[in-house]
Amino acid sequence: MSCFSYAIRIGLIAFLVYCTMQYIIPMPNEKLYILIYSALLGILVILFSYFLVGKPPKVMKHSKKDKEF
């Protein structure tokens, strides 16, 4: 799985989690509750993406031969 494909999947999961959370619990009006709501949303996105998609792909490191151009 390429990094681009992984990023698209994470973005889709984040969008779906955000829409579902907005449907279940509307956005609060007070600043403290907005902060808690946003932190909860971020944690849920990370947990769902790690559970559904898996670990991020490893970036391939270039060898010394590639750097000697």
Split at pLDDT 50, 70, 90, the class of 59 is low
Closest CA to 10 of 57, 64, 46: 46
- What global pTM score does this model have? 0.66
Domain that holds residue 36: 3-67
Cα atoms in the Cβ-side hemisphere of radius 13 Å centred on 53: 22
The pLDDT tens digits for 28-54 are 899 999 999 889 988 988 888 888 877
Which of these, 8, 39, 1, lies nearest to 21 by C-alpha position?
Answer: 39
Share of the chain above pLDDT 70, in %: 80
C-alpha pair distances (Å), 37 with each of 1, 27, 44: 32, 8, 11
Quote the number of domains for the chain: 1
More confident residue, 54 or 26: 26
State the pLDDT at residue 35.
Answer: 93
Helices (H) and strands (E) in the chain, counts: 3, 0
